[in-house]
Amino acid sequence: MRKRMMLLAAPFCVVAIAASVAVAAPSGAGHSSSPNAEKLHAERPTAATTGIAQLSTTEAIFEVQAKAVQRYVQFRAVTEYLTARMIQDILDFTAFRASQEAARSSRTVGTSVSSNSNPGGFLSCVRNRESGGNYGIYNAGGSGAAGAYQFLPGTWNSTAASVGRGDLVGVDPAQASPADQDALAQALYAQQGAAPWGGGC
């Protein structure tokens, strides 16, 4: 009985062993005979590495471009600042030169005019008529006029200011030097003619 059972079980064992071999064989063969699967696994790391490299290259390009833009903006800011400073320096220098020229011309008027260089002899006539040539005289009637040309204080100050002689504004005309009195008389004559002295002499 035992021998008969073993004879019946043997074919089942053979079938089971053959089936296990058949099941194992395709998986091994499929694993070894599928180059695409192996290639796919082999290519995946390379593709990932390439993607990272491309991303790094793009970031590097953007970084270079950003730095270039930043340098350009800084360059523009510096250029605009220097241009503004240069324009301001030119304006300041021009104003300085103009003030120098005005001061020089006023000094020339103050020193070059004397009692002997009045236009047409008119101011010489006025000086003789108004004060007898006395540069330190005051009006006896109390009008406030003073000096050789009998300047009123307001007329004296406005004339001095108009020709850039701020140093004479507020000065008593009779206390000013003869050259300064002559200079302001000539300036007033150039501005208003004979009118300040009654229109004639």
Asked if the structure places residue 169 within a domain, the reply is: yes
Q: Is residue 151 part of a domain?
A: yes
Is residue 80 in some structural domain? Answer: no
Q: What is the pLDDT of residue 148?
A: 94
Residue 37 in any domain: the answer is no
Least confident stretch, 103-117, 122-136, 182-196: 103-117
Mean pLDDT of the chain: 75
Identify whether 179 is part of a domain. Answer: yes
Token code pair at residue 14 = 């053979």
Whether residue 170 lies inside any domain: the answer is yes
Whether residue 145 contacts residue 151, with contact meaning beta carbons closer than 8 Å, is answered with yes
Give residue 113's pLDDT band: very low, low, confident or very high (50, 70, 90).
very low
How many domains would you assign to the chain?
1
Q: Is residue 162 part of a domain?
A: yes
CATH number at residue 151: 1.10.530.10
Residue 115 has pLDDT above 60, yes or no: no
With CA atoms as reference, report the closest residue to 147 among 167, 161, 168, 162.
168
Average confidence (pLDDT) over 69-89? 90
Name residues whose C-beta falls within 8 Å of residue 143's C-beta, 6 or more positions apart in sequence.
152
Q: Please, which residues bridge with residue 138 across strands?
A: 146
* Residue at 12 is within a domain: no
148 touches 125 (CB < 8 A):
no
The tens digit of pLDDT for each residue in 67-77 reads 899 999 999 99
What confidence tier does 155 reach under pLDDT thresholds 50, 70, 90?
A: very high
Contact 152, 161 (CB under 8 A): no
Residue-range definition of the domain harbouring residue 141: 113-197
